[in-house]
Amino acid sequence: MTQQHAERLDHFMGRANAAYYAGHDPFKDFTTAPEISQMFGEILALWAAAAWQAAGSPAPFALAEAGPGRGTLMADVTRTLGRIAPAMIGAAQVQFIETSPSLRQVQASKIPDAHWHDTLETLPDLPMILLANEFLDALPIRQFIRTGTGWAERYVDAGAWRDIPLAPAVAARIVPSRPGVREGAIVEINEPARGFVSALSRRLVAGGGAALLIDYGPAESAAGDSLQAIAGKRSSNPLTDPGHADLTAHVDFADLAAIARAAGAAVQGPVTQGQFLTDWGLFLRAQSLAAARPQHAAALRADARRLAADAQMGTLFKVMALTPPGWPDLLRPA
């Protein structure tokens, strides 16, 4: 088969995930932090309130979420803000970045007054507080493999991998430098994530506000193949039956932090999800809920551990905040 019949990995991944999210309920295949416990959204509401105050309490402002899933996170955030910061929720315009028609319908059942967008670019020109939990990991990646003679890019060809050599000048321009790159090593790049973070950073610097990015991946850039597919809550072959599994890859936080700084934003973190949630009072909240609902006390404590324990989600998931320069530290409560 000639080269033009092979499909570059990011094109394959983007097409497969578009079909998957259009025709499947992804939450039958995996569980995100907001679906584990209301406490996750309550903690993010505390962070959002601190960010809004640091922004000067703008009114109106966009309370945005990228990849809002079932709308559970925003429902918990707005419910909590209604209790602890009524002036903030009164000034908020909820904005969702979501391309799936079926997920938009589910989100509308929980946040009926939200406004939906396909991309960041169409959000209103307002100060913005943005949340993105497990959004970046689903954006399509490119993979490059180190060969004995240089670099090749990974393509998908009739359900199998095909590595197509890159000209040295092209490789020097597009393959990022990573430590530990030896023959056979794979280096990944997420161009849509880079584009999103760059555009988001420019908006925050120009219009004010802050963003909180939560996802799984390393704090430092490294070589390695992180592409995975999940179907029916089990790992599967990413190349098998595209459109019927969720394809994701680790988020390179160091790379995205560099992109944000290049666009003028200040970067806070990343820190582990466990540290962030603990600092913002996750276990205190679990104790409070357990006292109010003693019949659910064991489950509430187990949920808190699942979100924050090192052996569960606490270390693999990272939290990074983007702000205009000169803002206070938002990853730890004042």
| pLDDT digits 0-9 by tens, 283-325 | 999 999 999 999 999 999 999 999 999 999 999 999 999 999 9
DSSP letter for 135, please: -
| pLDDT digits 0-9 by tens, 102-142 | 899 999 999 999 999 999 999 999 999 999 999 999 999 99
Q: Which residues pair with 117 in a beta bridge?
A: 97
In a domain, 331, yes or no: no
The token pair at 165 is 């050599």
What percent of the chain clears pLDDT 70, i.e. is strictly above it? 98
In a domain, 230, yes or no: no
Q: The CATH number of the domain where 37 resides is what?
A: 3.40.50.150
In a domain, 257, yes or no: yes
Mean pLDDT rounded to a whole number for the chain: 94
In a domain, 109, yes or no: yes
> How many CB atoms neighbour CB 295 within 10 A?
7
List, in sequence order, every beta strand (DSSP E) within the chain.
Answer: 7-8, 61-66, 92-97, 115-117, 128-133, 142-147, 150-157, 160-165, 186-189, 209-216, 228-231, 234-236, 246-248, 266-272, 317-323
In a domain, 16, yes or no: no
Helix (H) or strand (E) holding 283: helix 282-292
Asked whether residue 82 carries a pLDDT value surpassing 60, the answer given is yes
User: What is the predicted pLDDT for the residue at 291?
Assistant: 96
| pLDDT digits 0-9 by tens, 50-73 | 999 999 999 999 999 999 999 999
DSSP symbols for 65-124 = EES-TTSHHHHHHHHHHHHH-HHHHHHEEEEEE---HHHHHHHHHH-TT-EEESSGGGS-
Asked whether residue 282 carries a pLDDT value surpassing 80, the answer given is yes
Structural domains of the chain, count: 1
Pick the more confident residue, 177 or 278.
278
Rounded to whole angstroms, how far apart are CA atoms 17 and 23?
10
Can you give the pTM of this predicted structure? Answer: 0.95
Domain boundaries, position 133: 31-139+190-217+252-276+313-323
Asked whether residue 1 carries a pLDDT value surpassing 60, the answer given is no
In a domain, 115, yes or no: yes
The token pair at 114 is 């939200």
- pLDDT category of residue 74 using cuts at 50, 70 and 90: very high
Residue whose token pair is 């009926």: 112
| pLDDT digits 0-9 by tens, 218-260 | 999 999 999 999 887 788 899 988 888 999 999 999 999 999 9
In a domain, 200, yes or no: yes
In a domain, 306, yes or no: no
User: What is the predicted pLDDT for the residue at 2?
Assistant: 37
